[in-house]
Structure 1
Amino acid sequence: MKNTDIAGIFEQMANFLEIKGENPFKIRAYRRAAQVVEHLPREIAVMLASGEDLKALPGIGQAIAAKMEELVRTGHLAAWETLKNSLPEGLSDLLEIPGIGPKTAYRLATELGISSVDELEQAIQQGKVASLFRLGDRTAENLLHQIQSLRRKDQRIPLGQALPVVEEVLSRLRLLTGAKNLLAAGSLRRFRETVGDIDLMGTAENPEAVIRSFVALPLVREVLVQGPTKASVILADGLQADLRMVEHEAFGSLLQYFTGSRQHNIALRTRMQKKGLKLSEYGITDVDTDKLEKFTTEEAFYGRLGMQYIPPEIREDRGEIDLAAKNALPELVQRSDIRGDLHVHTNWSDGAAPLESMAQAAKAAGYSYLAITDHSGGLGVAGGLNEERLLKQQQAIRRLNKELEGIRLLSGIEVNILADGRLDLSDEILSRLDVVVASVHSALNQNEAKMTRRILKALENPHVDILAHPTGRLIGKREPVAVDLEAVFQGAAAHRKVLEINCMPDRLDLQDISIYRARELGLLLAISTDAHRPEHFDLIRFGIGMARRGWCQPSSILNSRPVEEVLAHLKGGDAVR
């Protein structure tokens, strides 16, 4: 059983215990356990297999540790089944709807006999929900809106698809006179790999005019809600986008509140409640005096709480709040730290541009070096290089390096890892290259044991430098290969190999929690675009976002270093010129 499944069960147990009026400390223990498990960089199953003590995890006591082990060993939890069977059917589905807490869900189930989201929608339309005690028409309409949003969120959109659409919306709105501070918040700003609804926000002297322009954009397919300061629309690709306009003085509070994540905001509010402060989208209220302070920036908001500014990408309640209170947050890697790209293709294999064009584009992107890593011949669909063509390309790179100024090309290859772990080029030819990137492209359906042995064997090859897109996933299209990443990371550490963070929006591989774990183990990572055409160098921002979500500093990123240091790490300085 995966960590996400365990976390979901613990969260539901907390909700159901709240319905039954159980001890608040017990309820909080399960909620905390859900958060801890969800954000672990390693699977509980792997930890148990290696003999680790789950009670060493923060907030995990003996009872919950035993339940985690029961879930992993058996796939079931007796206590959970008993609790679930003691309550009306369908509560879990109702609790998925924002705005419905445990007690409201229980009332809907017991008083109206509602056991599904469809039944709730029908009851709202029939006016039954509005007639419930303290649930009026407005609340019922809001619940209907949330149900519709939830159904759209079930089909989350990859970040790489959503971000360009949002940027087009914002660029059009920024042309409006008086519109300021226009930004996206939510999971998109945190650079999560998939997003649901889009939260946009800004300030303006005439917010109503901005709202009118927003709903009239050509990208808007349907207007759900329109008011003087807020509107909700469905964009042409099915994304729901909500725009909120607020006074300039409160923008920082609004942006912080809607950037999230939910766990981060809950942890922050809980911490500040103990200090007599109440946090909201409007600002910070002193409970004793009822005085509201507003903030124009997030920096000022966090500063009022006695904290460093917390970058959006790490607002996931993974310890960032405690570190910010100690002024001890790491300086995360930025675009300006990246000095080169170590995984790029040209028209020698499946790329769209010649060597010189890719070199000039990399130079224009601010890079001082570029590794040319076309596919090897074993990957027939990519028009890969056999040894003869690879040697010819190496000669072409040498000639071009004599002509280029301001950028240096490195000779490399993306070599295919065959089904048995062998590489499809000889050690003799690989030893002549500056950079050898190895990757799995075939036999993707191998079981975990075979795939893990296969990759580990490739990592043992002394000429392999970087493991590219380690899980082989394509977001929304292809699941990751079955592989024991912990074993791969240990193997990479043992052989001083580098792991890739692939910037292609449909890959984003490694993903954030795996990056976090690799960094913990002291592994070096390379943020590589896998560019196949000049414009692909712009995709570096996606890899930067993933690296920041994994708490990477520049010191963890190989290609944040000068070319001499890169080559010294990869080949001991014996570079092919």
Structure 2
Amino acid sequence: MPVHNSEIADAFDRLADLLEIEDANPFRVRAYRNAARTVRGYPRSMSDLLADGIDLTELPDIGDDLAKKIQVLVETGKLPLLEEVEARTPPALSELMKIEGLGPKRVRALFLELNIKTLDDLKEAAESGKIHDVAGFGDKSEEKIRKRVEKFSGERPRTLLIDAEENARPLVEYLRKAEGIKDVIIAGSFRRRKDTVGDLDILITARKDSPIMDHFTRYDEVEEVASKGKTRSTVYLRSGIQVDLRVVPQVSYGAAQHYFTGSKAHNIAVRKMGIKKGYKINEYGVFDGDQRIAGKTEKSVYAAVGLPFIPPELRENHGELEAAGQGNLPKLITLENIRGNLHTHTKASDGHNTLREMAEAAAKLGYDYLAITEHSKSLAVARGLSVKQLREHLEKIDALNEQLDGIVLLKSSEVDILEDGSLDYPDEVLRELDFTVCAIHQKFDLPRKKQTERILRAMDNPNFNILAHPSGRLINKRDPYETDLEKILEAAKERGCFAELNAQPQRLDLTDEGCMMAKDIGVRISIATDAHSTFDLEHMRCGVDQARRGWLEKSDVINCLPLQSLLKLFSR
């Protein structure tokens, strides 16, 4: 039974959490976190790499010891060191770290002082007023914890789209091998490319004698068969994801795709349009009385109500039906439109590859340019560059550009926006860059008004160009910091600044709604990977998915421009 990269990464992250709670060597903890990041984002499974005889130590941040642990995990599904640590440190403590604001040091303090081991313990302590007496806490901290515990349901969070893909890909390949299979498609939020997925809805057309349901329920990653029928079965995979499989008639395939892709609000609106024409629309087709008049294709379903085909990413009832009716659907951006990447890191700060390696990987993707954006000096945890180090790094970029053919490295930096709104390098240094990518990495908990004003003051600096990961969210891990995004985007428009759509699968920030707002206001977007390794560059597709959900077209995205046109934008 294959072990997925996400399972290996989760094991390393959990081990790092527990070791940090134990106050273990920080370098040891960081090694596991870095390994988790490498494994989670790697485009090929560790199982496949080992099967092909590839040395895992060739991967960034994977040494001999970690390579052996990965091999054990792949072969046995277990990590002995994690089991050893869990035996001496209550494993539920790592669950407490899911509460925003509770890092390992605070969890350790609560455990030692109040014997808090579980979420229930934490809730009871917060409600009874015990927490504010613990060193490092206070009345405000206790109140925040109480509210956050109430908000945290403890339910299994929705699955990151990229993790859902890791589960879906081999399952679909497996299903295609069954006898009599014709069509296989994953519908639902997966097909709409939402940043998280609740479950997987798979539609199949097949011969009547196909043993598809037996084949499906025998899949080696099925943990539980919840139901099994002739046309529908539900299972839970080892990862916890629910999978619903439906066999539909070929004549209804398009109607079923439309119905099960959703969203619910979009479908209801389409059905209402059908009712006005005297039609009934459901998963079996479009009916005029008892006669099916459409449904074999999705295009026929939309045509029945007088509309062109609407891309799945737009189906949220956010105005797409009106736009389709008026012939104004956007021509959505595609991965092929991207000319370069404007946010990447190398070994000079906290990246894993050299300048040349990043440049060559970007050239293989067909890019014309790649921006190198090392962290600025205040972000010590990411080995931010001092002014001297930055200037030396810029010289290396210039030297390498003389050797490169077909791609240009742009000189930039991911510059910290400090609490007072100033930027982390002096203006004379910022002017030496081709452009800046400016970001908040600290003080996430400022009040909404102060956080907004902080960003607006930073934008007042004429050397400010792109606002990176504008909300600071980490999906399922950290809520967005509070800002007035509309006010920020309006200020960006006035000042000639741009907003980033960070394509890291755990960020996807801007959100789709944020992209729509930016488009409406007239702020153009940089879709960038925030790559810390060569394989992170491939996450551009995740950003493009999000951009399509946000109605973005080629003209809305600055890194669809040729180099000289792009550079002109950065002159304020």
TM-score (structure 2 length as normaliser):
0.71
Partner of 1:194: 196
Partner of 1:359: 359
Partner of 1:370: 370
Partner of 1:416: 416
**Does the CA contact (< 8 Å) of 1:307 and 1:325 recur in 2?**
yes
SS of alignment partner, residue 435 of structure 1: coil
**Residue 448 in structure 1 maps to residue 453 in structure 2:** no
**1-side partners of 2:249 and 2:570: how far apart?**
53
**Does the CA contact (< 8 Å) of 1:430 and 1:436 recur in 2?**
yes
Q: Which amino acid aligns with 1:253?
A: A
Give the counterpart of 1:171 among 124, 148, 173.
Answer: 173
**Does the CA contact (< 8 Å) of 1:153 and 1:197 recur in 2?**
no
Q: 1:533 to 1:172 in 2, by over 3 A?
A: farther
**2-side partners of 1:160 and 1:207: how far apart?**
34
Q: Deviations over 1:425-473 (max 9, x none)?
A: 1111111111210000011111112111111111111111100001101
Q: Which amino acid aligns with 2:401?
A: N
**Residue 252 in structure 1 maps to residue 265 in structure 2:** no
**2-side partners of 1:530 and 1:369: how far apart?**
15
SS of alignment partner, residue 342 of structure 2: strand
Partner of 1:269: 271
Q: Which amino acid aligns with 1:221?
A: E
**Does the CA contact (< 8 Å) of 1:451 and 1:483 recur in 2?**
yes
**2-side partners of 1:399 and 1:445: how far apart?**
41
Q: Deviations over 1:237-281 (max 9, x none)?
A: 111010112233321111111011111111110111010111111
Deviation at 1:178, TM superposition (A): 4.2
Q: How many pairs were matched up? A: 420
Partner of 1:340: 340
Partner of 1:75: none
Q: 1:448 to 1:152 in 2, by over 3 A?
A: closer
Q: Which amino acid aligns with 1:278?
A: K
SS of alignment partner, residue 438 of structure 1: strand
Partner of 2:485: 485
Q: 1:571 to 1:177 in 2, by over 3 A?
A: farther
Deviation at 1:283, TM superposition (A): 0.8
Q: Which amino acid aligns with 1:510?
A: L
**2-side partners of 1:435 and 1:218: how far apart?**
50
TM-score (structure 1 length as normaliser):
0.70
Deviation at 1:529, TM superposition (A): 0.8
Q: How does 1:125-524 map to 2 (within 5 A)?
A: 155-176=157-178, 178-205=180-207, 208-287=210-289, 290-524=290-524
**2-side partners of 1:408 and 1:324: how far apart?**
40
Stretches of structure 2 lacking an aligned partner (at least 5 in a row): 1-152
Q: Deviations over 1:511-566 (max 9, x none)?
A: 11111111100001111111111111221122112211111111111111111111
Q: 1:153 to 1:306 in 2, by over 3 A?
A: farther
Q: 1:367 to 1:353 in 2, by over 3 A?
A: same
Q: Which moved more, 1:504-513 or 1:173-182?
A: 173-182
Q: How does 1:56-95 map to 2 (within 5 A)?
A: none
Partner of 2:88: none
Deviation at 1:163, TM superposition (A): 2.5
SS of alignment partner, residue 224 of structure 1: strand
Deviation at 1:153, TM superposition (A): 7.9
Q: 1:176 to 1:345 in 2, by over 3 A?
A: farther
Partner of 1:109: none
Deviation at 1:187, TM superposition (A): 1.2
Deviation at 1:180, TM superposition (A): 3.5
**2-side partners of 1:567 and 1:225: how far apart?**
58
**Does the CA contact (< 8 Å) of 1:308 and 1:329 recur in 2?**
no
**1-side partners of 2:293 and 2:374: how far apart?**
56
**Does the CA contact (< 8 Å) of 1:152 and 1:196 recur in 2?**
no
Q: Which amino acid aligns with 1:266?
A: I
**1-side partners of 2:176 and 2:360: how far apart?**
32
**1-side partners of 2:473 and 2:500: how far apart?**
13
**2-side partners of 1:308 and 1:431: how far apart?**
49
**Does the CA contact (< 8 Å) of 1:371 and 1:435 recur in 2?**
no
**Does the CA contact (< 8 Å) of 1:434 and 1:571 recur in 2?**
no
**2-side partners of 1:319 and 1:153: how far apart?**
32
**1-side partners of 2:213 and 2:367: how far apart?**
41
**1-side partners of 2:502 and 2:219: how far apart?**
34
Q: 1:558 to 1:177 in 2, by over 3 A?
A: farther
Q: 1:265 to 1:157 in 2, by over 3 A?
A: same
Q: Which amino acid aligns with 1:443?
A: K
**Does the CA contact (< 8 Å) of 2:273 and 2:305 recur in 1?**
no
Q: Which amino acid aligns with 1:361?
A: A
Deviation at 1:475, TM superposition (A): 1.0
Deviation at 1:221, TM superposition (A): 1.1
**Does the CA contact (< 8 Å) of 1:335 and 1:544 recur in 2?**
yes
Q: Which amino acid aligns with 2:258?
A: Q
Deviation at 1:506, TM superposition (A): 1.1
**1-side partners of 2:236 and 2:513: how far apart?**
31
